[in-house]
Amino acid sequence: MRIAGSHTFRAPREEVWEALHDPAVLARTLPGCQALEVTGEDRYEVTVTAGVASIKGTYRGEIELAEKDAPQRYVMDASGQGGPGTIDARVAVELVAVDGGTRVDYDVDAVVGGTIAGVGQRVLQGASKKNAEEFFAAVERELAGEAITEAAEPSEAGTPERPAVGDVFRPPAKPAAETDLTKLVAALALGAAIALIGVLVGRRTAR
Partner 1 sequence: MTTKLFGERVERREDRRLLTGRGRYVDDLAHDAYEVAFVRSPHAHARITGIDVTDAIDVDGLVAIYTYEDLPERMQEPLPLLIPHPSLTAPRTQHVLAKDEVNHVGEAVVMVVARDRYVAEDVVDRIVVTYDPLPPVVGIETAAAAEHAVHDDVPDNVAASLTQEIGDLEAAMAAAPHRIELRLDIERSASTPLEGRGVVARWDDEDQSLRVHSSTQTPTSVRAAIATFLELPFAKVECIAPDVGGGFGVKIMHPWPEELLVPWAARTWGHPVKFVDDRREHFVAANHERGQVHWVEVGFDDDGRILALDVRFLHDHGAYIPYGLIVPIITSTQLLGPYKIENYRVEFQSLYTNTMTVTPYRGAGRPQGCFAMERTIDAIASELGRDRTEIRAANFIQPDEMPYDFGLTFQDGRPYLYDSGDFPATLDKLRSLIDWDGFEAVRQEAQAEGRLIGIGMAAYVEGTGVGPYEGGHVLVEPNGRVQVATGLSTQGQGHETAFAQIVSEELGVPIEDVTVVTGDTRRFQYAVGTFASRAAVMSGNAIALAARKVREKALSIAADALEVSPEDLDIVDGVVQVEGSPETSIPLKLVATLSNPLRYAFDEDAQKATQFAQPADPDEPPVREGEEPGLEGTDYYSPPRSTFANGMHAVIVEVDPETSDVEILRYAVVHDCGRIINPMILEGQIHGGVAQGVGGALYERMAYDENGQLQNASFMDFLMPYATEVPTIEVDHLETPSPLNPLGIKGAGEAGVIPGSAAIAAAIEDATGLKIRSMPISPSELHELRRADEETATP
H or E stretch including 140? helix 121-143
C-alpha 104/C-alpha 13 separation (Å) is: 9
Q: Are 143 and 133 within 8 A, CB to CB? A: no
Q: Does 149 bind partner 1 (CB under 8 A)?
A: no
Q: Is 122 among the residues that bind partner 1 (CB under 8 A)? A: yes
Question: Contact 9/16 with Cβ under 8 angstroms?
Answer: yes
**Which of residues 96, 119, 177, 181 is near partner 1 by CB under 8 A?**
119
Measured from the CB atom, the residue of 8 and 121 that comes closer to partner 1 is 121
**Which residue stretch of 69-77, 85-93, 151-159, 185-193 sits at the interface with partner 1 (rule: CB under 8 A)?**
85-93
Is residue 115 within the footprint of partner 1 (CB under 8 A)?
A: yes
Helices 121-143 and 13-20 pack at an angle, to 10 degrees, of 120
Rounded to the nearest whole angstrom, what is the least distance from the CB of residue 1 to partner 1 in the complex? 8
Among 2, 145, 149, 207, binds partner 1 (CB under 8 A): 207
**For partner 1, the closer CB: 1 or 4:** 1
Pick from 43, 68, 103, 204: which binds partner 1 (CB under 8 A)?
A: 204
Spatial separation of the C-alpha atoms in residues 193 and 175, rounded to whole Å: 25
Contact of 108 with 89, CB cutoff 8 Å:
yes
